[in-house]
Amino acid sequence: MKNVYRIKGLILGIILSFITALLFMLLGQIWAGGITSLWGESWLYFSVIIPFTITYAVLGRYFHNRNELPNIKWVNVE
């Protein structure tokens, strides 16, 4: 059951990495003068997919192992 959260983190990381790489590529092309391709450069996708999937898999496992997230009150209202 613990691996389910790791797999969910991997899937979320892959999806968010594709969205981030696509947006970064589109903004760069717009600022450069126009959109020439909707797919973009493959190095951009590879440079984003690996860190995102590792990070989200670790975070998924970390938050699953936490019993309760800390409830920090920055301002004491009495």
Candidates 73, 25, 74, 66; CA nearest to 46 is 25
pTM over 0.75? The answer is: no
pLDDT in tens, 3-47: 787 888 888 888 888 888 888 888 888 888 887 777 777 787 788
Burial of residue 5 (number of CB atoms within 10 Å: 0-12, 13-18, 19+) = middle
Q: Which of the two residues, 71 and 34, has the higher pLDDT score?
A: 34
Residue 67's pLDDT band (cuts 50, 70, 90): low
Tell me what pLDDT residue 18 has.
Answer: 87
